[in-house]
Amino acid sequence: MRKVQYILIALIILLMNFNLSAQEDTSKSTITSTLKSDITKFWCDAGDITVSPLSFTANNWLTVGAVVGGVALIFTLDEPIHRQVLRHQSEAASDIVEIGRLYGRGRYVLGFSSGLYLTGLLFNNNNIKNTGFMMVESILFAGGITFALKGFLARSRPYLNEGALEFNVWEFSDYDRMSLPSGHATFAFAISTVLSTQIKNPLATLGFYTLATLTTASRLYYDQHWASDTFLGAAIGTTIGLMVVDLHEKRDQQTVFNIYPVPNGLRAELSF
């Protein structure tokens, strides 16, 4: 648990030092009304993400094709990479990749993201709250896609020694056959993408993506995933992270009319 605490503390220090909370929150809404508003936003964003392929441009589809092609290419290298990784085990390497394993663990990243959201909510800081909110959305949306693909493809994990091309299709209950994509890689790249876009500091970006890369390395090192699993998970996490940030930026640029309760009645506010 100490390693987890160190990672969370390091993230908090980054958030403080790189002025994530530089802008003041001007909203006067109550915590309850803010929660209700954010729940509504969550479902709207979920709907937008779900139907987004219907409005993909040619460039978007080229990106999808590049990811699929990359996964197919790495398929051919999965077994050689797997053998090489297992041949280079060491105590020093174990200590390093363990950081990545913890960074991409679902309950840790969701707990940290939720904690960040609640901190911003309780201390009336919109920037921190929105960053936590985007992280939670990215984790849940990207995680949902990853879980669906895991069950549909039902790829055998490498430690079963069934080969890199063993698929069972439609198996949501057998952990041993839910290898593709990697959930850890999905989560790690989703939160790294959101944090790097919000902090906007090259050193922070390098740090977050280094942690995410260590996460993918840990899944290979611990024999939990094939290289193509981690590549696809990283692509899903990064893509959904960017889409969530884009949705929030577009919403912030829109003119919004809000009515909410105050001690003496109702207050109307027009924001741009």
Over the stretch 118-144, which tens digit does the pLDDT of each residue have? Answer: 988 888 888 889 999 999 999 999 999
What's the rounded Cα separation, in Å, for the pair 49 and 72?
Answer: 25
Q: Tokens 């590549």: give the residue.
A: 231
Whole-model pTM: value is 0.85
Regions of the chain short of the pLDDT cut 70 = 1-29, 254-272
Residue 95: per-residue pLDDT:
85
Instruction: Give the pLDDT confidence score for residue 183 in this predicted structure.
Output: 96
Which pLDDT value is given to residue 99? 84
Mean pLDDT, the chain, whole residue set: 86
The pLDDT value recorded for residue 26 is 47
Report pLDDT for 128: 87
pLDDT at 101: 85
Closest residue by Cα to residue 192 from 64, 100, 86: 100
pLDDT the model gives residue 68: 95
Distances (CA, A) of 122 to 20, 24, 35, 49, 185: 16, 14, 11, 28, 31
For the chain, give me the number of helices (H) and strands (E)? 10, 2
